[in-house]
Amino acid sequence: MSYSTAGSLRAVTLDDVRGAQKMLSGVARTTVMEGSRYLSRLAATPVHLKCENLQRTGSFKLRGAYVRIAGLLPEERAAGVVAASAGNHAQGVALASSLLGVASTVFMPRGAPLPKISATREYGAEVRLQGQVVDETLAAAMEYAHETGAVFIHPFDHPDIIAGQGTVGLEILEQCPEVRTIVVGVGGGGLAAGIAVAVKALRPDVRIVGVQAEGAAAYPPSLAAGRPVSVGDTVTMADGIKVGRPGDVPFGIVDELVDEVCTVSEGELSAALLLCLERAKLVVEPAGASPVAALLSRPGAFEGPVVAVLSGGNVDPVLMERVLRHGMAAQGRYLTVRLRLTDRPGALASLLGALSVADANILDVGHVRTDPRLGLTEAEVELRLETKGPEHCAEVDRALREAGYTVMD
């Protein structure tokens, strides 16, 4: 593909994206689009989920990686490729390289989740664990490329990568031709830029909204400055969009074609992940759930029909457990109560009976008798309960008070 090196609209064209779509035929799946009645009701407009979490390797990254590697010259292929990633890009490069018969080396941080390391190896890459953070891993990969002549495959800052990711936009227009708004997570910007190139060329009336995690939001200050700028330490559970600086090439496209970039909180991300699991029966990683988080945080703000791009589903089980707990807490599904009761046989059993009547599931019980603040015949009990939401929490509190217990603030 021919392109300008400038970070502008001219760097990637609709023809490039269409060429990438032909190249990916039989390689990348045309992922399904599922309607969501719950989100549609919340947003007061039809909402559809573009399920790139069901793509091969579990994310959209295969698209761009395959197009980039397939476009290498014979001598470049012979030298092999190298990448640095904590997860999705690593797996995309590994599988794309294997399909094209190109040797790949992927550098991953030492703390990368074991399932992602194993999957990258199984897709055919040589995995090297180096560095504690992605920046150190990236430096190691760049040094390897310099020493060996291997081609470095950037996760988002290359026109071929953007063209490959743009095929998601073509599929959206084919599957939901009446779409009015597309909401997509943004890290370095490759996916949003690719979708914008494809969609705006064919349907300039479609609004494209990018979503970043509040703790890793480099695009708002960059767009305000008119150039990519780096933010400080990035802290978010959404590691798939945890990028401290926009890519030069995608930034120019996002600046020209993406209508808005908003941010979502960690609580909104975890609530969105929980919603995808409970309501849509879809395993989605926090970055992939960011468009759903935007819909939850701004109900009614998007003109429909809306398509939310679920960009990936590669979530570490340990993180999934923590995020689900966080999401349930954010939705008021946990309640902690402290109260005092008379320290006599059967008192705790009576309390648990009152909670049973209120249909609250008891997770933990703490029973304190030795605190000097307690009276001679008193005991303090702290209970952590699983509830059905804020209304149920209020019902439990009311049931305890009506049963004669004093609930402490």
Backbone angles phi, psi at 99, to 5 degrees: -65, -30
Active site residue 61: yes
Helix 61-70 to helix 88-100 angle (10° resolution) is: 40
- Cα–Cα distance for residue pair 303/283, rounded to 1 Å: 26
Q: Tell me the Cα Rg of the chain.
A: 25
What six digits make up the tokens of 48? 């559809």
Rounded to the nearest angstrom, the gap between the alpha carbon of residue 296 and the centroid of all alpha carbons in its chain is 15
On whether the CB atoms of residues 361 and 385 are closer than 8 A, the answer is yes
DSSP helix/strand/coil, 4 = coil
Of residues 171, 196, 166, the one with CA closest to residue 20: 166
Per the DSSP assignment, residues forming a β-bridge with 364 are 384
User: How far apart (Å, rounded) are the C-alpha atoms in residues 266 and 362?
Assistant: 26
CA distance 271 to 295: 11
How many C-beta atoms lie closer than 10 Å to residue 214's C-beta? 17
Judged by DSSP in three states, 235 sits in: coil
C-alpha to C-alpha distances, 157 to 200, 243, 337, nearest whole angstrom: 20, 12, 50
Out of 36, 50, 59, 61, pick the active-site residue.
61
First CA to last CA distance, the chain: 65
196 and 258 in contact (C-beta within 8 Å)?
A: yes
Spatial distance between the Cα atoms of 203 and 180, rounded to a whole number of angstroms:
9
Token code pair at residue 367: 């029973």
Per annotation, catalytic residue among 85, 290, 297, 311: 311
Report the 3 state secondary structure along 75-89.
Answer: HHHHHCEEEECCCHH
The length of the chain is 409
DSSP code per residue over 166-196: HHHHHHHHHH-TT--EEEEE-SSSHHHHHHH
Sheet with 81-84, side-by-side order of all strands: 126-129, 104-108, 81-84, 151-152
Distance between alpha carbon 378 and the CA centroid of its chain, in Å?
48
Residues marked active site are found at: 61, 311
